[in-house]
Amino acid sequence: MKKDVVVIGGGPAGLYTALHIRSRDVTLIEEHEKVGIPKHCSGVVGGFVAKEVSKLSPNLIDNYYEEIVLATPVEKIELNFKKPIAFHVNRPLLEEKLVSKVESLGHEIIYRARATPAGSRYVKINKELIEFNTLIVAEGANSVFRRILIGNKTRYLYGLQLVIKARNIMEKTLTIIYSDLNPDFFAWIIPLNDEEVQVGYASTRLREDILCKLIAKYVKIDLLRVIDKYGGLIPIHKPLKNPILNGNIVFHGDTVPLIKPYTGGGLYYIFKLSPLLGKYVDINMLNSYVYEYLRSFYVKTFFEHTLVELFRKTRYYLPVSLVNRINKLNMLLEEDYDEHYKIVLKSLVFTPIMPFLLFS
C-alpha cells in the first residue's frame, strides 16, 4: 500500500501540521483509541499560542493569569501585570477540535495503530508495510523513530501532575517553586478554577511526597483531595540541528524536541513552526523548511540550552532575580514569556554587574 504524506502521532504537533497541508493527501497514525491521551501537559501558554488557539475555538482557553509568583530558597517575588501574561488551554478539547478540522479537510486518521520505521521509504503500521512519499514524525518525546533512524542520545526529566480539589485558591495567580528538594527543575501550581488546582513538578526521580512538601511550604492553599493524576517525559537534550532526514522524513514536536529549554513548554514552537512545515510539505520542498527551522527555533534555542545547562549545574533559580530586576525597569514584556533569549539580551543593561547579581 502507498500513501502520500504519513504523519506519526495525533498530538498537537502532528494534528496542527496536518491542518496546514491542503494540497496533498494525509494519513495520520495515532496509537491510542482517541487523541488527548494519556494526558501529560500542564496546558499553560503565552499570548501567541492563546491567540492562535482561540482562532480554532474561543472556549479552548479556560483560564488566564495576571500574576506570577516565583518562590526560591532565598526570596519570593510577585510579578503583577496590567493584562493577562499566561493562559490555560484545555488540552483534550484542543486536540478534539484539531481532529475535527483535520478530518474536514478530507485527511485520514487511523486510531489504535502502532507505527515503526522500515527504511527511508516505508513504515510498518500494525505489521502492514506502507510506502510513503513524505513522513512527518511527531510521535512524542520517547520517539521510536528518532531512536532507530537517528540514534543519538536523549535525556529526560519525569513530570508528575495532580489535579486537586482545594480551598483559598488565587484563581489568577501562577506559582512557580524552586527548592533544594528538587534541584533539577521547579514545581508549579496552576489554578484551573475557583475549586481546582493543577500542581506538579519534574525531576530525574519522582516522589509524590516531595511535591506535597513543596506546596505546603510555599503556598497557603487548603488541599482537599486528589481527583486526577498523570505525568510524562520532559526532554532536556539539545534539539536536532537538522530535523530533515533523507529529504523526505521530518522530525517535529517533542521528537526534535521543539521545547523552551528552561520551562519545557512545547506548544509555542509547535504553533510557530507547524504552519511553515505544512506549507513546505504542500509544495514538496521539505529541505527548504530547514532555513525556517534554524531561523525561528534552533539558533536561539541552542543559546538558551547552553545557559540552562549552567543553571542545572549551579542553581536553577538563578534567573529569578534577573527577571525581577528587568520587571522593575518596566522592560518585562508579554513576549518574554515565550522568547527567553530576549530576557538574556535585556540583562545586558546590568553588565558588568550582571554576574554579581546572578551569583550573589
Q: Band the pLDDT of 351: cuts 50, 70, 90.
A: low
Cα distance between residue 126 and residue 129, in whole Å:
8
How many residues would you count in the chain? 360
Cα distance between residue 79 and residue 76, in whole Å:
10
The dihedral over CA atoms of 32, 37, 43, 49, expressed in degrees to the nearest 10, equals: 20
Confidence at residue 221, expressed as pLDDT on a 0 to 100 scale:
76
Confidence at residue 360, expressed as pLDDT on a 0 to 100 scale:
46
Residue of higher predicted confidence among 156 and 356: 156
> Each residue of 96-151: pLDDT tens digit?
999 999 999 999 999 999 999 998 899 999 889 999 999 999 999 999 999 999 98
Return the DSSP state at 57: -
The dihedral over CA atoms of 8, 14, 18, 21, expressed in degrees to the nearest 10, equals: -90
Residue of higher predicted confidence among 212 and 8: 8
156-235 shares the fold of 2-62+90-154+239-308: no
Percentage helix, strand, coil for the chain under 3-state DSSP, each rounded to 5: 35, 30, 35
Residue of higher predicted confidence among 359 and 190: 190
Average pLDDT value for residue range 156-164: 91
Does 267 have pLDDT greater than 60?
yes
Q: The domain 2-62+90-154+239-308: what is its CATH number?
A: 3.50.50.60
Confidence at residue 339, expressed as pLDDT on a 0 to 100 scale:
87
> Each residue of 72-90: pLDDT tens digit?
988 889 999 888 999 999 9
Does 298 have pLDDT greater than 70?
yes
Strand partners, 77: 70
In the chain, domain spans:
2-62+90-154+239-308, 156-235, 317-359
Q: Domain 156-235 classified CATH 3.30.9.10?
A: yes
